[in-house]
Structure 1
Amino acid sequence: MKLLTVFTATYNRGYCLNQVYESLVRQTNSSFIWMIIDDGSTDDTQLLVQSWIKENKIEIQYFYQENQGMHAAHNTAYSYIKTPWNVSIDSDDYMTDNAVEVILKNLPETDSKIAGIVGLDIDKKGKVIGTRFPESITQSTISEIYHKHGVKGDKKIVYQTDIIKKYFPYPTFKGEKFVPLGYLYRLIDQDYLLKPINKALVIVEYKIDGSTLNILNQYRNNPKGFALHRVLKIQLSKNSTERFKNMVHLISCSLFAKDIHFLKQTKSPILIALAFPFGLVLNGYIRLKTNKIISL
């Protein structure tokens, strides 16, 4: 039995998906499955994947669904994954040639309180995105890695499948197609730790049509998904500054959604009153910035 599923949620990325494929063909350890969740692509993605399946160089599983957004594609992946471990690779990124080997060599015991490992992202020149992990950290939550240990930049998490299936699916909201993936990771953080490794697993390339560069549009078009994440962050905040910042964002999201349901969930009327003017300003700023993007 193969130990790892590398899954990729994709939408109209036929022009760059070959980078993921070619990096997986180059892997120094072949004990993995590549699962592709096609979230309603209308380009040549399906034909490309069929040609790769015929080549039979690596094991590929392909699933097509109507366009529902990245979080829904992750839900689909988690429902199909059978291997003990899994890792998500974005359609505009690709793996280092020895990534699978590094992952399999560093897997913790499956019955421990370690949910998985977290490795580094690098750019095409080999530069680490953000910062490396302090060598003194042998285990930590993803939240503490950033907020306590001061690590910066995107990192790649490999999860135990049985653990992540305890917490999925991501909630879905009618008319919206995005819930921050960190929502699920925050939930897992409450019960499990991660093992940081200062090894590069993924080479990232931020595309102009990617969610990272379009985050403000995502924020405006999917306010309930973002509000859900902010409520959780408020509930888990370690200090008043963090609570205030997240409340500002929650107010902005609620204004976009025209819905105070999420504000009520916080049961914090005084904090809402204090943060409201700032949330109003943030909402106006995002409207201004996204209107400029739309006009371009």
Structure 2
Amino acid sequence: MLLTIFTPTYNRAYTLQNLYKSLLNQTCNDFEWLIIDDGSIDDTKQLVDVFIHERKLNINYIKTLNRGKHIAINKGVEEAKGELFFIVDSDDELPQNSVCDILLKYKKIQEDKNIAGVIGRRGYKNNTIIGNKGDYNELITNAIGFRYLYKISGDMAEVVKTEVLKNYKFPSFENEKFCPESLVWNRIALNYDFLWFNEVVYNCEYLEDGLTSNSVKIRMNSPNSSMLYYSELAKYKIPFKEKSKAVTNYWRFSFNTDFSIAEKFKNVSFLLSLFCMPLGYLMYKKDKSKI
């Protein structure tokens, strides 16, 4: 099997039906749908049981304790049977030709050990690209180069070789239920390129109860993961302005921990922190005022 479509879900029975329909409508069906239920207390299991009973898709459903999307992804990578791993959230859908388009692109780099997978574009439900369009049809580069050299913005649809992801698991911190996915894509960038293609293969809807809509609060509640992400980002070869932003955000979320100032300084540039820490503190106070 070439592709695992992986869906982590938590209390999203009210959206899963739309994703299921979009998978049924795919013009290529060489995939499994792996669902990790991250401790839902709604009717998710009953709904998925109906899907399974219909026998229209190859579905593997696993229920776990509620530990967050990043831990669900780790579990999904362990359980996946596909050569490729494609994360599709429970409130999103795939255009009809997504699987075919992805597999056609993958054939071009399948045997290349230096390329970790293929990445298409995310779009809104009307297929409008999220972010700037970018001047490319296909591009081979890593995640850092794509963002900071080619300056292409917007959420992407990452389809990664499962064997690669097995070596890049998300870190886990006690009592934290979030870790930025970009942390893993950036780590992979140190050793692998991707084939990027400028076509929408994923349709998004940013709901009020989703991770994107609650980004700041979620990062405040997972400060160790947030600090790790920004401290690593600041060490990559990125423009100085972006390094400064990363260090500022590092300090911004660090104030949600009990670490001493000395401990915090160990992870980021001392000189840059002298300028960025005060701004990070102001942003932290602003965040707290909104809760």
Q: 1:143 aligns to what?
A: 144
Q: What CA deviation, in whole Å up to 9, does each residue of 1:67-112 have, x standing for no partner?
A: 0001011011011112211100011101111111111111012333
**Partners of 1:146 and 1:137 in 2: how far apart?**
15
Contact 1:254 1:262 in 2 (8 A): no
Partner-residue secondary structure (3-state), 2:255: helix
Computed over aligned residues only, the root mean square deviation of the Cα atoms, in angstroms, reads 1.5
Q: Distance in 1 between matches of 2:178 and 2:79?
A: 20
Aligned to 1:220: 220
> What TM-score do the two structures reach when normalised by structure 2?
0.95
Q: Deviations over 1:125-180 (max 9, x none)?
A: 22111122422652011222222112121110110111111111x11111110011
- 8 Å CA contact retained: 1:234, 1:266: no
Residue equivalent to 1:50: 49
> Are the counterparts in 1 of residues 144 and 238 from structure 2 also a CA contact under 8 Å?
no
Task: Note closer, same or farther for the CA distance 1:252–1:45 as it changes in structure 2 (3 Å cut).
Answer: same
For residues 98-117 of structure 1, the aligned pairs below 5 Å read 98-107=97-106, 108-117=109-118
Partner of 2:159: 158
- How far did 1:241 drift? 2.4
TM (norm. structure 1) is 0.93
1:262 shift after superposition:
6.3
Which one is further off, 68-77 or 245-254?
245-254
For residues 68-217 of structure 1, the aligned pairs below 5 Å read 68-107=67-106, 108-135=109-136, 138-168=139-169, 170-217=170-217
Greater alpha carbon shift after TM alignment, 109-118 vs 37-46: 109-118
* Number of the residue aligned with 2:15: 16
Q: Distance in 2 between matches of 1:283 and 1:233?
A: 19
Q: Letter of the 1:185 partner, please give it.
A: W
Pairing 1:256–2:256 present: yes
Name 1:63's counterpart in structure 2.
62
Runs of 4+ with deviation above 4 angstroms: none
Matched-pair contact (CA < 8 Å) for 2:253–2:284: yes
Give 2:272's aligned residue.
271
Aligned length: 288
Whole-angstrom CA distance in 1 between matches of 2:263 and 2:147: 26
Tell me how far 1:196 sits from its aligned partner: 1.2
Structure 1, unpaired ranges of 5+ = 292-296
* Structure 2 Cα separation of the partners of residues 267 and 54 of structure 1: 53
Contact 1:231 1:265 in 2 (8 A): no
Q: 1:48 to 1:262 in 2, by over 3 A?
A: farther
Task: Summarize deviations over 1:199-227 as a string: whole Å, max 9, x none.
Answer: 21111001110000000111211111111
Letter in 1 for 2:275: L
Alpha-carbon separation, structure 2, partners of 1:151 and 1:139: 13
Q: Secondary structure at the match of 2:186?
A: helix
